[in-house]
Copies of this chain bind each other. A is one copy, B any other.
Amino acid sequence: MKTVSIVGVGLIGGSFALALRKAGFKGRILGVSSKPATEAALARGAIDEALPLFKAAAASDFIYLAQPIEKILQTIEVIDSYAQPGALITDAGSTKRAIVDRASHISRARFIGGHPMAGKELRGVEEADADLFRGRPYVLTGRDAELESWIGHIGARLVVLSAEEHDRLVAVTSHLPQLISTALASVIGSEPDAAQVAGPAALDLTRLALSPYEIWRDIFATNAEPIDAALASFIAKLEELRATLRSPQMERAFDQASAAAKALRR
């Protein structure tokens, strides 16, 4: 890896650039983004130079797509014609199947889907952090020794999954929690006096409902089937609890759920 293009220098793209630098990357880092974003990224020291996509891609042996999902899909349409033969392209989109499918035409360059399971509530390169990926899972949908070694250098924990498996798992662990929180906030909001008695449980479970829709639109558009399946499993489990609310079976359900919650924390 000699020259890197970061396409979309926001929180994730900017953090990846800073993380590479901190991990000892000595090559050039080119930034492709809107003028305000590349100016902020230059000011932040995240990129060495701002270039349009075709110039940056032609100059890079590694291209990192850190745009919103819909933009990644658009970039993938054109990137192969700009890229160097054999260049490695990866992305940081929150869903993988739609992106990996769209990238199947890439033939001059190579494409491996990626998803760093890291983020912040605030966005933009101003919030970028060289340690954003430290200790967090970093999913790849394929193998590449050099990319894997950089993922290790930036402190992330490599997880290799097929695009389908990734999408099915994040539907359950990320997209389902968001919809649950949104639905719960909505139900609580329909009780005018609920705020008077709301405690930490209600606050904890409605925090995700504060997320802006803008980042979720693309996720729902590109992962609808796994999300639908996750919702179906969750509603079925809730109906099961509802039917056994006063039966001794509830104790077993609590014990199993508690064991699962503990396993998630190991």
- Chain B residue numbers with a CB within 8 Å of A166 are 197
Chain B nearest CB from A73 CB (Å) reads 15
CA distance A220 to B248 in the complex (A): 11
Contacts A210-B258, A261-B209 hold; do A174 and B187 have CB atoms under 8 A apart?
no
CA distance A237 to B206 in the complex (A): 14
Report if A1 contacts B (CB, 8 A): no
- Chain B residue numbers with a CB within 8 Å of A265 are 203
Q: Number of A residues contacting the other chain (C-beta, 8 Å)?
A: 87
- Chain B residue numbers with a CB within 8 Å of A185 are 257-258, 260-261, 264
Chain B nearest CB from A86 CB (Å) reads 30
- Chain B residue numbers with a CB within 8 Å of A101 are none
Query: Contact: B197 with A234, CB < 8 Å?
Result: no
CA distance A250 to B179 in the complex (A): 10
Query: Contact: A195 with B256, CB < 8 Å?
Result: no
CA distance A150 to B137 in the complex (A): 51
Chain B nearest CB from A95 CB (Å) reads 12
| A162-185 at interface with B (beta carbon < 8 Å) | 165-166, 168-170, 172-174, 176-185
